[in-house]
Structure 1
Amino acid sequence: MKLKTLILAITFLATFNLFAQNTYVFLGSYNRDKTAEAIQVYQLDTLKGKLSKVTSAKDIINPSYLTLSPNGKYLYACTDTKTPNAGSVSSFEFNPENKSLTFLNKQSSGGENPVYVSIHKSGKWLVNANYTEGSVSVHPLLENGKIDSLAQNFQYMDGSTNKERQTRSHVHSAVFSPQNDYLFLPDLGVDKIRCYQFDENKKQPLVETKSPFTKTDLEAGPRHFTFHPNQKFGYCIEEMAGAISVYQYENGTLNKIQRIYTHPDKIKSGFESSDIHISPDGKFLYATNRGKENNIAIFSIDENGLLKNIGYQSTLGKHPRIFAIDESGKFLIATNVLTGNVVVFKRDQKTGMLKKTENKVKMENVSCVQIKRI
């Protein structure tokens, strides 16, 4: 009898904890003015996809990319993006109970125009990529969520073949490996994916490897990177070429096995590819195109990691920069910078296709989105 009661109690607590969690959507904006809202937070109805505003933050400039701590308590942003001779990373504390987003502090990003920020799974390290000056920076994170002073900074001076866009390095993202023991840096300016080993126990955790980079095709312009949930494959979206390169991954090493375009064959120019994500079940990959085609390219993923294009979905706006998929895999949320609209799509988890919902919000110059169940 006691055992049955215990099982019922455990089941009740597990169910309570599941439903006690809520899903939140964090939006950044190229606000360009401290009096305008820079970050907005919404709660996502995971049945209907409706967005309900929770809180917002001002007094910072141009948060171009957001990420959250593993426990969802702290929000980190690339700030002072697209600001001459400036660049910073900022921290906030998010409290869903009292609906507050409180600024904590900021530090120099170690380079101009920060565009990507990642948090190590330990919650103790922040890494950011600086586009204009081509660099990567590492900051320790304090227990109270604040960002500590710079621990490491690597700047790069090499370039590639395109004389207009590749005269020097432009690091566009900083992505941890599945085990968080390596860091990958797609560099649009040099057609390389740089790589470091990451030792979380060192005061300077970035350690050079025997193979410091993987070459991409010339004038590819590698931008963002994501790993498959099975940890065996990596996918890099190439902004300039409008393609995705697929890599077999093992212990910090990338071996290319496929390259496939993100746009219809009839489109040969006037577009850029931007963001890339995989559904939680690992069956589908999504990638955004901007320009003549403002859409999301949809791919199925075979067991061997290879991609097959199965369709496109308009983002219902112009210049989709960043999108995100919620942890349940039910919804995809896209942000359109030029039209300032955020659109919620319902995912068909069997086919991978997207269907627009009537749930959307307006945010001028919306730059990015993150979704987190807390």
Structure 2
Amino acid sequence: MKKRILLFITFFVYQHLFSQNTYVFFGSFNRDKTTDGIYVYQLDTIKGKLSKITTVKDIVSPSYLTLSPNGKFVFACTESKTPNGGKVSSFEFKPEEKTLTFINSQSSGGENPVYITVHKNEKWLVNGNYTEGSVSVYPIADNGMINPVAQNFQYPEGSIDPERQKRSHIHSTVFSPSCDYLFLPDLGADKIRCYKFEEDKKEPLVTAEKPFTQITLGGGPRHFTFHPNGKFAYCIEEIAGHIDAYRYENGKLDSIQRIAAHPEDYKGNFESSDIHISPDGQFLYASNRGEKNNIAIFSIENDGKLKAIGYQSTLGNHPRVFAIDETGKFLIVTNAVSGNVFVFKRNAKTGLLKKVGKELKIKSVSCVQIRKY
């Protein structure tokens, strides 16, 4: 009997400790350096509860965050939507001390930075600037400091929508699974741009054999993701509310499907935004803003094609960015306009979502990243 009790206590303590080493990072359109811009919470991976750890002030409107592969550094697009003020900023995160400390900033190389990513070698940072339609590449020092820009490319062309596509609008910067190519969905030009990324060069972006993939005119490609098997890729169209599925190999995308992110009979405003795949590669999730404010859920077939299986309300307004934890157990969504966050537990067999925990209020919450330490 005593042995059973001891084993139970050991299991309980182990489970409790294991559940407390996952952290969640939120950005917000705070507009004011005197208010919090980045929030760090701890996720209880048993109950789905979020507990505040620390916050950061003295930065303006971190629209998007990303973490270095080793988890030591947080990088942010800051002063987004600030005329001529766009920056990329770095912070050091120490989970044992529960601190997030500012390191430095550099100019974003264009107005309104909206997406940022780190190469797997942790030596390069790439950001996309929406308003001016450009991409910037920076070397990163070992201490997390962002060095001056190494490359910057701006794109002039637009597409057919006179209101939304007068010029280029780079909306995400995504490395291929091997980090040897960089993909840039351009909402303004209806193109997914591509560069070969040669990490040992001082200027790593090199013209690719296939420099862009044209999507349906008026689609407005926004966010982009790869399947865990590296063979498929998916792009969500913000304006037209569709998802483009591709077969991927050596920097080239071959279209295999275009499917609506909303039910086929939906006639309202689309404004689709973010897209992610469960770690097991079985399900794809896409967020829709506008009238529905939901997460569309798709199963992924063996050939990479998608099949719609359900829609989950985000319980708020304007789900701009969401994230799935590395275990695939939880999905966390940020509703920017209503300023609230919800944690959903993911059914690994069906892919469906169920709300857990309580609503978290963060004014103008812009994005979320999840990391286990």
Report the TM range for the smaller structure's normalisation: over 0.9
SS of match in other structure, 1:271: coil
Inter-partner Cα distance in structure 1 for 2:357 and 2:24: 17
Q: Any residues of structure 2 matched to 1:283-298 within 5 Å, and which?
A: 283-298=282-297
Asked whether 1:218 is paired with 2:217, we answer: yes
Runs of 4+ in 1 over 3 A off after TM superposition: 18-21
What 5-or-longer segments of structure 1 have no aligned partner? 1-14
Superposed displacement of residue 96, structure 1: 1.1
Q: Which amino acid counterpart does residue 115 of structure 2 have in structure 1?
A: Y
For normalisation by structure 1, the TM-score amounts to: 0.94
SS of match in other structure, 1:116: strand
Deviations 1:217-238 (A, max 9, x none): 0000000000000000000000
**What residue in structure 1 maps to residue 102 of structure 2?**
103
SS of match in other structure, 1:291: coil
**What residue in structure 2 maps to residue 240 of structure 1?**
239
Superposed displacement of residue 21, structure 1: 7.6
Q: Which amino acid counterpart does residue 249 of structure 1 have in structure 2?
A: Y
**What residue in structure 2 maps to residue 354 of structure 1?**
353
Asked whether 1:162 is paired with 2:153, we answer: no
Asked whether 1:282 is paired with 2:284, we answer: no
Superposed displacement of residue 318, structure 1: 0.2
Superposed displacement of residue 193, structure 1: 0.2
Inter-partner Cα distance in structure 2 for 1:20 and 1:31: 30
Superposed displacement of residue 99, structure 1: 1.3
* Shift in CA distance, 43/21, structure 1 to aligned 2, threshold 3 Å: closer
Which segment drifts farther, 362-371 or 259-268?
259-268
* Shift in CA distance, 20/202, structure 1 to aligned 2, threshold 3 Å: farther
**What residue in structure 2 maps to residue 119 of structure 1?**
118
**What residue in structure 2 maps to residue 3 of structure 1?**
none
**What residue in structure 2 maps to residue 85 of structure 1?**
84
Deviations 1:240-286 (A, max 9, x none): 00000000000000000000000122322322100000000000000
What 5-or-longer segments of structure 2 have no aligned partner? 1-13
Inter-partner Cα distance in structure 1 for 2:106 and 2:20: 31
Superposed displacement of residue 370, structure 1: 0.3
Inter-partner Cα distance in structure 2 for 1:36 and 1:253: 44
SS of match in other structure, 2:121: coil
Superposed displacement of residue 305, structure 1: 0.4
Q: Which amino acid counterpart does residue 371 of structure 1 have in structure 2?
A: I
Inter-partner Cα distance in structure 1 for 2:248 and 2:263: 28
Inter-partner Cα distance in structure 2 for 1:61 and 1:198: 30
Inter-partner Cα distance in structure 2 for 1:215 and 1:274: 19
Q: Which amino acid counterpart does residue 222 of structure 2 have in structure 1?
A: R
Inter-partner Cα distance in structure 1 for 2:163 and 2:259: 24
**What residue in structure 2 maps to residue 176 of structure 1?**
175
**What residue in structure 1 maps to residue 5 of structure 2?**
none
**What residue in structure 1 maps to residue 331 of structure 2?**
332
SS of match in other structure, 2:289: strand
**What residue in structure 2 maps to residue 187 of structure 1?**
186
Q: Which amino acid counterpart does residue 211 of structure 1 have in structure 2?
A: K
Q: Any residues of structure 2 matched to 1:309-348 within 5 Å, and which?
A: 309-348=308-347
Query: 1:51–1:360: 8 Å Cα contact kept in structure 2?
Result: no
Inter-partner Cα distance in structure 1 for 2:288 and 2:18: 36
Query: 1:134–1:170: 8 Å Cα contact kept in structure 2?
Result: yes
Superposed displacement of residue 209, structure 1: 1.3
Inter-partner Cα distance in structure 1 for 2:256 and 2:269: 27
Inter-partner Cα distance in structure 1 for 2:146 and 2:28: 21
Identity of aligned residues (%): 69
Inter-partner Cα distance in structure 2 for 1:360 and 1:144: 36
Query: 1:227–1:234: 8 Å Cα contact kept in structure 2?
Result: yes
**What residue in structure 1 maps to residue 202 of structure 2?**
203
Inter-partner Cα distance in structure 1 for 2:20 and 2:123: 24
Inter-partner Cα distance in structure 1 for 2:367 and 2:223: 13
Inter-partner Cα distance in structure 1 for 2:227 and 2:364: 30
Deviations 1:166-219 (A, max 9, x none): 110000000000000000000000000000000110000000012110000000
Superposed displacement of residue 359, structure 1: 2.9
Inter-partner Cα distance in structure 2 for 1:34 and 1:195: 36
Inter-partner Cα distance in structure 2 for 1:87 and 1:27: 19
Inter-partner Cα distance in structure 2 for 1:19 and 1:357: 19
Inter-partner Cα distance in structure 1 for 2:274 and 2:321: 6
Which segment drifts farther, 57-66 or 359-368?
359-368
Superposed displacement of residue 361, structure 1: 1.0
Inter-partner Cα distance in structure 2 for 1:29 and 1:358: 21
**What residue in structure 1 maps to residue 25 of structure 2?**
26
For normalisation by structure 2, the TM-score amounts to: 0.95
Query: 2:20–2:44: 8 Å Cα contact kept in structure 1?
Result: no
Q: Which amino acid counterpart does residue 148 of structure 1 have in structure 2?
A: N
**What residue in structure 1 maps to residue 367 of structure 2?**
368
Inter-partner Cα distance in structure 2 for 1:346 and 1:20: 14
Superposed displacement of residue 128, structure 1: 0.2
Superposed displacement of residue 31, structure 1: 0.1
